[in-house]
Amino acid sequence: MKRILNIHHILQMVSGFVILLSTSCEHKDLCYDHSHTTKIQVIFDWKNAPDATPETMRLYLFPVDGNKPQAYEFTDYRGGSVNVPAGRYKALCVNSDTESVLYRNISSFDGFEAYAPDGVLNVKSSLAPRAEGTSGERVIKSPDRLYSGRLDNVTIEVSTKDQTVTLYPELSVCRYRVTIMNVSNLKYISADGVSGALSGMSGGLLVGRNELTSAPVTVPFGVTSDGISTLTADFLVFGQNSPVNPVHKLVVYVIMSDGSKNYYTFDVSRQVDAPETVRLKKPADPHNVHILLDGLPLPKPIVNGSGFRPTVDDWQNVDVNIPM
């Protein structure tokens, strides 16, 4: 009996040793990972966008060996310190305080895409028609102000010395302004009865490659009236789609006080591809485009039911020629 008890005691000791050994190995692995993590200082240098003050920034590090990328959030737009596993990386950064800019394919540096969610073409809750030839384009919301930066080669070493990674974010969307002068009968537009859309735009940005996506989209935008003779708009896009012969159609949707609906189509390809700076003989800035149009013949509302009046649900299209 005593011999049996001794054997049982020995087995308990062996089992305890195995558990202790197993626990020690797990702890060693954690310590092993920790020993290869280095504290670095991340700096977002805003020399390319000196007026930018986003609420938050996000840094993505993509290991060149193909491992899973690391993401770090910063509540200070100027940067901060983070612990990063040692290794070689590609890096990109974006501001993370946007609502109408989304991200996909975030596990790939080259495929990392910023894009805008789906939008709707409507005026006063009334669905609006497409410009001819643009029915295949996705309708997107105007993107928020997006800033991005990238580095192709970042090396993080195991060291007690200070290491710094500096990125230079820049504005990654374009500002488009529209001015339409000499608009007739502007005072007869119904309240909130005017809006616009621009076709042939790019739907997103490949952030790592700093390249626009190729599929064309239509971007709706708000329009402001001065109540006299001028309509204006100011909105953001990722940029223009770049096919061989790009076509950009600007549509102004108007609902008059009598309920009649008209939409006016302008081919503004020349102004989008070669903005107003062409006539000033200086290089065009694709990030600041001003589309200037002269003349929009809005109809005077029909009074007392005289003359032909289309049903309220009908949209009447008017193509407007732009003087060359």
In a domain, 20, yes or no: no
pLDDT tens for each residue of 122-175 = 888 788 999 999 999 999 999 999 999 999 999 999 887 889 999 999 999 999
In a domain, 2, yes or no: no
In a domain, 140, yes or no: yes
Q: How would residue 196 be classed by pLDDT, with cut points 50, 70 and 90? A: very high
In a domain, 12, yes or no: no
At 23 the pLDDT is 37
- Residue 7, amino acid: I
Region 189-198 average pLDDT: 93
Contacts from 23-30 at CB under 8 Å and sequence distance 24+?
none
Q: How would residue 14 be classed by pLDDT, with cut points 50, 70 and 90? A: very low
Q: What is the pTM of this model?
A: 0.82
Region 285-306 average pLDDT: 84
Question: Does position 233 have pLDDT exceeding 70, yes or no?
Answer: yes
At 318 the pLDDT is 86
The residue written with tokens 């558990």 in the block is 19
Q: What angle do CA 62, 67, 72 make, to 5 degrees?
A: 45
At 301 the pLDDT is 82
Region 270-283 average pLDDT: 62
At 42 the pLDDT is 98
Domain that holds residue 46: 37-320
Number of structural domains the chain divides into: 1
CA distance 211 to 213: 7
Residues in CB range of 117: below 8 A, 6 or more apart: 100, 102, 140, 141
Give the per-residue SS3 of 60-88.
EEEECCCCCCEEEEECCCCEEEEEEECEE
Q: How would residue 243 be classed by pLDDT, with cut points 50, 70 and 90? A: low
Question: Does position 256 have pLDDT exceeding 50, yes or no?
Answer: yes
CA distance 144 to 97: 9
Lowest mean pLDDT among 156-160, 257-261, 320-324: 320-324
At 4 the pLDDT is 44
In a domain, 89, yes or no: yes
Contact (Cβ atoms closer than 8 angstroms) between residue 317 and residue 260: no
Q: How would residue 281 be classed by pLDDT, with cut points 50, 70 and 90? A: low
In a domain, 3, yes or no: no
Region 291-310 average pLDDT: 76
